[in-house]
């Protein structure tokens, strides 16, 4: 595989998406394919993957592949992840975590999903329970406290059919082994840092961490209440 050629196409894909999303909340995948021209076929030849699968793997932290809602889901589009400050269009259902699962339950946090979807390279992979970031640690080394290992066999291979389904299954296995509640890793819950205890935080700091942007904007406290919350520990 030509790494330089692939990197060049990846850069063009990202620039095309960013340009399109400046004026719209979504970018049709078919439109992106047309914009790529011959590079689309080159991408498929180099990776043996579809354009959508490539975006899922390469840009899982920035973008999601979505499908038009309704009984017949054929039209796909690219949107920014909600964690990037974008509102998800109501006419779409998120597909990158399995279409049927997305309809039944909230989405996993994008960083948590990435820990099971970003291709394995070497060492051992550990998840930071506080912010859902993962770290690949060389063999023989130990991660900081608060990290839990994700075994190599639970990191989905790139060349596999129905990869999203396997990722969901691997996540469930990991949750079961560690006796974690899946809701702690949903997009909203994980952003509120509820997985690991907030050791050393004041009640005010813990409250701020637990509220989303809209709740913070609509919440007001008197100075005496702020003072009291700052003195108490969570």
Residues found in the chain = 234
Look over the chain and give the mean of its residue pLDDT values, rounded to a whole number: 74
Is 17 within a domain?
A: yes
For residues 84 and 142, state if they share a domain: no
49: containing domain: 3-96
Overall number of domains in the chain? 3
Would you state the pLDDT for residue 102? 39
Q: What is this structure's pTM?
A: 0.43
Query: For 127-149, what is each residue's pLDDT tens digit?
Result: 988 888 888 888 888 877 788 99
Query: For 16-46, what is each residue's pLDDT tens digit?
Result: 999 988 887 788 888 899 999 889 988 888 8
For residues 84 and 139, state if they share a domain: no
* 116 within 8 A of 170, measured Cβ to Cβ: yes
Final residue of a domain: which of 96, 129, 155? Answer: 96
Of 181, 119, 193, whose CA–CA distance to 150 is shortest? 119
Is 148 within a domain?
A: yes
For residues 13 and 67, state if they share a domain: yes
For residues 49 and 124, state if they share a domain: no
């Amino acid at each position: 595989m030509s790494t330089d050629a692939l990197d060049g196409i990846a850069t063009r894909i990202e620039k095309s998406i960013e340009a399109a999303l400046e004026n719209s909340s979504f970018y049709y995948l078919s439109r992106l394919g047309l914009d790529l021209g011959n590079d689309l076929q080159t991408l498929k030849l180099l990776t043996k993957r579809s354009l959508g699968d490539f975006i899922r793997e390469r840009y899982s932290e920035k973008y999601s592949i979505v499908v038009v809602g309704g009984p017949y889901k054929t039209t796909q589009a690219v949107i920014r992840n909600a964690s990037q400050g974008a509102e998800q269009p109501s006419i779409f259902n998120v597909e990158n975590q399995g279409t049927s699962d997305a309809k039944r339950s909230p989405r996993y946090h994008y960083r948590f999903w990435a820990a099971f979807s970003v291709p394995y390279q070497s060492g051992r992979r550990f998840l930071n329970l506080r912010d859902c970031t993962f770290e690949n640690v060389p063999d023989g080394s130990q991660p900081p406290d608060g990290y839990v290992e994700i075994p190599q066999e639970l990191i989905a291979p790139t060349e596999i059919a129905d990869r999203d389904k396997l990722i969901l299954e691997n996540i469930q296995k990991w949750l079961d082994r560690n006796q974690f509640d899946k809701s702690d890793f949903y997009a909203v819950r994980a952003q509120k840092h509820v997985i690991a205890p907030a050791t050393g935080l004041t009640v005010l700091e813990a409250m701020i961490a637990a509220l989303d942007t809209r709740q913070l904007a609509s919440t007001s406290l008197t100075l005496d209440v702020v003072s009291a919350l700052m003195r108490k520990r969570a």
